[in-house]
Structure 1
Amino acid sequence: MTRMMFGMTMGLGVMALAAQQLQAQPRNCAPREVVMKKLAEEFGETRRGIGLVQEGSVMEVFASDGSGSWTITVTLPSGVTCLVAAGEAYETLAEALPPAGDDA
């Protein structure tokens, strides 16, 4: 359980740092409508997850069942959406939490 919580905390920290870097380096950014259209039309990706990052930014995960491609974006309060990461072989998991007190 401790290991899982550490991993989740590290993941959130990475996303927060990524959002900070996006504000400094907007080269992979465009208006939200442009990014959403490209993800849907060119890659067949739909939104699979969403969360708040920091200072009003929103992190989203998009993926395609057909191709297995995936993309993580961060949308800034200004409405600009930036690509954080992308890859292949996306799989949806439905894992149960371990019983309380289990250190797995």
Structure 2
Amino acid sequence: MIHRSLAVLSLLSLPLLIEPSAASAQISCGPRDHLVKLLAEQYKEDPVGIGLTQPGQVLEVFASQAGSWSMVMTMPDGKACLIAAGDNWEMVTKIKGNPI
């Protein structure tokens, strides 16, 4: 997982302007379309989930059939940040009446 995260960060540094967050220098940010293209081309990751946060940010989870996943937060101004990435993604669905 660390190797994959480092690979994503190094790839992001080429096409995007890397802006470290105050919370963590590991977070990489740039235009959403560049980040989505990178995830699709390099890791074959597509969106599998999306949600809206209270301040109006969009949280997306991208995953591949191979099990890699990435979490992306997009700000209202269109800037997107890779906030987490890993392996062994598994889709879980709730069966009506049975909590997970």
TM-score, structure 2 normalization = 0.68
Q: 1:9 matched to which residue of 2?
A: none
Q: Following TM superposition, where does structure 1 have runs of at least 4 consecutive aligned residues deviating by more than 4 angstroms?
A: 22-27
Cα distance in 2 for residues equivalent to 1:97 and 1:88: 28
* Alignment partner, residue 82 of structure 1: 81
CA RMSD of aligned residues (A): 2.4
Deviation sequence 1:20-73 (CA, Å, 0-9, x none): xx86458510101110100000000000000001321100010001x2100111
Distance in structure 2 (CA, Å) of the matches to 1:30 and 1:72: 14
| Alpha-carbon offset, residue 97 of structure 1 | 4.8
Runs of at least 5 residues in structure 2 that lack an aligned partner in the other structure: 1-19
Considering only CA atoms, is the larger Rg found in Structure 1 or Structure 2? 1
Structure of greater relative contact order (alpha carbons < 8 Å, 6+ residues apart) = 1
Question: CA separation in 2, counterparts of 1:84 and 1:98?
Answer: 32
Give the share of equivalent positions with the same residue, in percent: 42
**How many pairs does the alignment contain?**
79
Q: Normalized per residue, which structure has more helix? A: 1
For structure 1, list consecutive stretches of 5 or more residues without a partner in the other structure: 1-21
